[in-house]
A and B are shown apart, each in its own frame.
Chain A
Amino acid sequence: MPIVVPLLLAVALFCIGVYGVLARRNAITLLMSFELMLNAVNINLVAFDAWHVDGLATGQTLAVFVITIAAAEIGLGLAIVLLLFRGHGHVDADAARDLLEQDPVEKGVEQ
């Protein structure tokens, strides 16, 4: 089959993944979409490797790397989501604004 087909599939999956990362509130959905993005990249790599065969099988090697890193990252991510749930009682990414920089309470600002 022409190379375009798997590439289009990868693009589609990647865009769905980006949408999911940026727009979904549930933290686990966030992680799932991120996985989708990583796997889309995998499809891309494998497709290019099949299309342009080189002696080192670069695409397939990189795909294996990505799978490994994805697995490690999902482990860490889920652990953080778990802690988020334990602390806040929900996994809503929008509502978790603990890093927000508050404007200082007016305590005689004289710099």
Chain B
Amino acid sequence: MSVLLIALMAVPALAAAILWALPAGTGDRVAAIVGSVVSGLVLVGSAVLWWDLVRPRAGSAVLVGYGLGDEAPRTLPGRIYAHAETDVSWISALDVRFHLGIDTISMPLIALTALLVFLCCLYSLRITPRAGRTRSLIALLLIIEVGVIGTFSALDLVLFFLFFEVVLIPMWLVIDIWGDEHDRVGRRRAATTFVLMTVLGSAVMLLGFLLVHRQAGTFDLEVLGANPVAGGHGIALIAAILIAVGLAVKMPLWPLHIWLPDAHAKAPTVGSVLLAGVLLKLGSYGMIRILLPVLPDATATIAPYLAGFSTVAIIAGSLACLAQTDLKRLIAYSSVGHMGFIGLGIATMSPEGLAGALYANIAHGIITGLLFFLAGAIKDRHDTSDLRAIGRALYARLPRIGGLLTFACLASLGLPGLAGFWGEMLILLGAYHPGDSLPRTTFVVLMVIAGLGAVLTAAYFLQLIRRLCQGDPVEHPATAFAVDVSRIELITWTPLVVLTVLLGLWPFTLLDYWTFS
């Protein structure tokens, strides 16, 4: 029984309940303060948990998320060395256990979640959507945090599914109630599309889980990791395809990505930050945690297709960005492209590719979180996110925001020296040298196409900067409402900027966890 891990989930849930129990007249500030304190505690708790995970312990040799196999090390068996475990029998009739635990793969993601929720609550201290009712918004954010941390720490398939679903309704509410205030129909449609597509994916994924149970006799990930379901045909293959499709909707992977641009464009700032920074990680995390260790041979069979779709996602996402006129939709499509890279990394089934996918997950969460904060700031100042309406020459009107936007765009396009590079590069290296059972030529071709996709990524980000930040300031005079960075924004964004640079120049902290040798 790990009290800390359970507390990381129980405390926000309790706080959400308390927030809803507060009288209706509770001000926005009070709610945001409560939220900040609670999420701050969760952040501190996750830092303690991380330290506890990695401190040298007597007798323990190496801390890797995956264990070593006796055979050729380019395949990745999935023994989980779980830490902070809780393992009690829960629904014995269904063979479901309440099994929580963390390892070096899930810990950075949990810390990222805690950080982003904390920053969102801090942001809400001063800047809230016009719809008001911040009390409910903060409560919903905390519920989402519970769901996400639960998903990252679940070591039982049904428990994973459960926490996976917990985040959906709160997110629907966040988008529908606090979303784009000018477009009621649009945000209802965006929220509903998001929920329906994701639920369909989850249902398909659950089918896959049931098939796994039928083959292996257990839902427990630790047991399954030690004895994976062998065989690349038949039930195992069907299960792998079902699970992959289900997680692909969440990732999102082309062509199941269509919910993402609408959901991001209509969501409020904090909603977009969490959606992009945290919720998108659930899909790729699921693939790494469930698909690869539990169904290795079947995954090897579908890996080329996964890689193909991922590469198409990179190219199609980048191309779509070039023709966008809405700032948030553009960043949403850039997320589609980045998730394509991560999918490619997972599909290579090689140590480098997997490490790259994990690194890119963290980096994308931080950088795209920053991008959406900036987009939200620009949108709030101009009351629209349409690039044609915002105008140009932001360097003159909002110099600091323009500068930060340039920095975030350079980070997002994978400039070496900033966080985005290592993930992309390791993924391409993994594609150059994929797992043993995979067709090498296909992957090298996909690597080349993905490299060209990286150039396209640079193209659209530079086009965005040119369109938005640069330009003749005479034609685009400053407006009275548009003030440059405020103090709360600076406080909220600085950790993300610092982390981006740190993870870019000092990747060893994270890379050392995922050596997979």
Q: A residues engaging B (CB < 8 A)? A: 110-111
Distance in Å: Cβ of B482 to nearest Cβ of chain A? 34
Contacts of B185 in A (CB 8 A): 110
Bound: A111/B195 CA distance, A: 13
Bound: A110/B189 CA distance, A: 8
Distance in Å: Cβ of B180 to nearest Cβ of chain A? 16
A110's nearest neighbour on chain B, judged by CB, is B185
A108's nearest neighbour on chain B, judged by CB, is B185
Bound: A71/B189 CA distance, A: 57
Q: Is B188 positioned at the interface, with any CB of A under 8 Å from its CB? A: yes
Bound: A111/B196 CA distance, A: 11
Distance in Å: Cβ of B138 to nearest Cβ of chain A? 29
Contacts of B188 in A (CB 8 A): 110
Q: What are 4 A-B interface contacts by the 8 Å CB criterion? A: A110-B185, A110-B188, A110-B189, A111-B192
Bound: A4/B457 CA distance, A: 87
Bound: A109/B98 CA distance, A: 43
B189's nearest neighbour on chain A, judged by CB, is A110
Bound: A111/B192 CA distance, A: 9
Q: Considering the complex, which residues of chain B in the window 151-194 have a beta carbon less than 8 Å from any beta carbon of chain A?
A: 185, 188-189, 192
Bound: A110/B183 CA distance, A: 14
Contacts of B189 in A (CB 8 A): 110
Distance in Å: Cβ of A74 to nearest Cβ of chain B? 50
Distance in Å: Cβ of B59 to nearest Cβ of chain A? 59
Distance in Å: Cβ of A69 to nearest Cβ of chain B? 42
Bound: A100/B375 CA distance, A: 52
Distance in Å: Cβ of B453 to nearest Cβ of chain A? 36
Contacts of A110 in B (CB 8 A): 185, 188-189
Distance in Å: Cβ of A106 to nearest Cβ of chain B? 16
Over the window 77-91 of chain B, the binary record of Cβ atoms lying under 8 Å from chain A Cβ atoms (1 yes, 0 no) is 000000000000000
Bound: A110/B190 CA distance, A: 12
Bound: A80/B192 CA distance, A: 45
Bound: A99/B343 CA distance, A: 53
Contacts of A111 in B (CB 8 A): 192
Distance in Å: Cβ of B72 to nearest Cβ of chain A? 53
B192's nearest neighbour on chain A, judged by CB, is A111
Bound: A111/B185 CA distance, A: 10
Distance in Å: Cβ of A65 to nearest Cβ of chain B? 43
Q: Which 4 A-B pairs have the closest CB atoms?
A: A110-B185, A110-B189, A110-B188, A111-B192
B185's nearest neighbour on chain A, judged by CB, is A110
Distance in Å: Cβ of B185 to nearest Cβ of chain A? 6
B196's nearest neighbour on chain A, judged by CB, is A111
Distance in Å: Cβ of A56 to nearest Cβ of chain B? 44
Over the window 11-38 of chain B, the binary record of Cβ atoms lying under 8 Å from chain A Cβ atoms (1 yes, 0 no) is 0000000000000000000000000000
Bound: A111/B191 CA distance, A: 11
